[in-house]
Structure 1
Amino acid sequence: MRRRFLTVLCVTAVSASLLGGCGSEKKTEEKEAAGEVQGNELSDGSDDSSQEEAKAEESASEEKSPEDSSTAEGVMLDVSKTLSGTHHAEMILKDYGTIKMELDADTAPLTVTNFVKLVQEDFYDGLTFHRIVNDFMMQGGDPEGNGTGGAEETIKGEFSNNGVENEISHTKGVISMARSTDYDSASSQFFIVQADSTFLDGDYAAFGHVTEGMDIVDEICKNAKPINSGGLIDTPEQPVIEDIIIVD
């Protein structure tokens, strides 16, 4: 696994006296900081109508494409091709609950396909949110748990400054990909925006948003106790991703 420095999103609190006349400089500094820191019933045949219904259901099942394949824990989408449309996922955090997400594969097809692929490979199970900054975001999906790791493959950054139109703004609840300074370095690390951070627009690949569970995000961010200015959380205190399920 290639190691990349995907440390995402560190925001420095600036006093009001320093804000006057320095808006563009603050925006630039914030962007730079963000870039640096990432189971079947068996019929006995006694009911002919039931048997015929069972045969019909079996036939319909055989006609399903890989993309329609379902499991007890959701569906298995066909990620051998780039996804499109809207998809939904549920992320279960240990001791916190479930965060429901909507994924926009029309806006960010490569990003959503990559995310779904990793989810279906159970890549995220047991990983954590290692970097949390209150009033900004919470970042996770790093196998190393410190911002330096990722998946084996990287993807093209789907955002305007990398030549890809992406109209999803980084407002509260939006989900986006972390990366290093290399525009095409995103792999597995993602972040959930806790407070509007539109200064990230154009530089990061937003690919969905939280539909339920922002109260969990708020709770985690509010109670976070970073051990450094970048928002790194001590390993025992990092919220754990128990599972992510693709719903449709």
Structure 2
Amino acid sequence: MIKAQLFPSVAPNTVNNFIDYILDDQFSDSSFHRIIKDFMVQGGMVKDTKSPIRGEFASNGFTNNLKHTYGVLSMARTSDKNSATSQFFMMTSTSPHLDGAYASFGGIISGFSVLNQLERLNTNYNDEPLSKVVIESIEVDLKKYEPSPVIYYNK
């Protein structure tokens, strides 16, 4: 089991979006579908993707100082800076080239051994694990945090 802490003070809409997918139980039975050794493990491809959100990072005009270091959670996206939906990745190394270009929004606080095991899995030429790695569930303990409605990006 991996436990992470989300940082709404760093990327509020990104955190609210992630929580929204969790509360809608969208991640259950999805998988970690992309693994690149010494870089990251990516998951969160869901059946019912919602609209994209605005990328909360410096090259998109948003201050986000959370660096892409080992254990940091960040949103995956296409080349469009405002295309993040449900997919996220967990850093397995420090990757400064992502700082300011991807929305980091949390960090792993326990379960680093699981992350390391995932990173060591054999993959094919598309970085897909040779055996399916299922996300059984993702849960969130909101404590006293009250998520705001997600603000979707309108082009």
For the aligned pair, the TM-score class normalised by the smaller chain equals 0.7 to 0.9
Quote the Cα distance in structure 2 between the aligned partners of 1:143 and 1:117. Answer: 13
Letter in 1 for 2:49: A
Q: Deviations over 1:99-147 (max 9, x none)?
A: 0000000110010000000000000000000000111110001137xxx
Amino acid at match of 2:132: Q
RMSD: 1.2
Match of residue 81 from structure 1: none
Query: Whole-Å Cα distance in 1 between the matches of residues 101 and 91 of structure 2?
Result: 14
Q: Deviations over 1:168-197 (max 9, x none)?
A: 000000000000000000000000001111
- Which residue is 1:193 aligned to? 91
Q: Equivalent residue of 1:118, what SS?
A: helix
Determine the structure 2 residue equivalent to 1:62.
none
Letter matched to residue 197 of structure 1 = S
| Cα displacement (A) at 1:226 | 1.3
After TM superposition, which residue ranges in structure 1, 4 or more long, deviate above 4 angstroms?
A: none
Does residue 164 of the first structure (1) align with residue 62 of the second (2)? yes
Match of 1:139 among 39, 42, 51: 42
* Residue identity in the other structure for 2:136: E
Residue type at the aligned position of 1:115: F
1:155 has 2:53 as partner: yes
Counterpart residue number, 1:227: 124
Give the Cα–Cα distance (whole angstroms) in 2 for the partners of residues 220 and 233 of structure 1. Answer: 9
Residue 180 (structure 1) aligns with = 78
Counterpart selection for 1:111 from 14, 19, 30: 14
Q: Does the alignment pair 1:209 with 2:107?
A: yes
> Which gives a bigger RCO, structure 1 or 2 (Cα 8 Å, sep 6+)?
2
Q: What are the within-5 Å matches in structure 2 for residues 43-82 of structure 1?
A: none
Unaligned stretches of 5+ residues in structure 1: 1-97, 145-149
Whether 2:140 is the aligned partner of 1:246: answer yes
How many pairs does the alignment contain? Answer: 142
Structure with larger Rg? 1
- CA–CA separation in structure 1 for the residues paired with 2:44 and 2:106: 16
Match of 1:37 in 2: none
AA of the residue aligned to 2:141: V
Measure the CA separation in 1 of the matches of 2:92 and 2:14.
20
Letter in 2 for 1:232: E
Question: Which residue type is aligned with residue 53 of structure 2?
Answer: I
Map of 1:126 onto structure 2: 29
Q: Give the whole-Å Cα distance in 1 for the aligned partners of 2:50 and 2:98.
A: 25
Which letter maps to 1:169?
K
Long gaps (5+) in structure 2: 143-155
- Distance in 2 of aligned mates of 1:179 and 1:242: 23
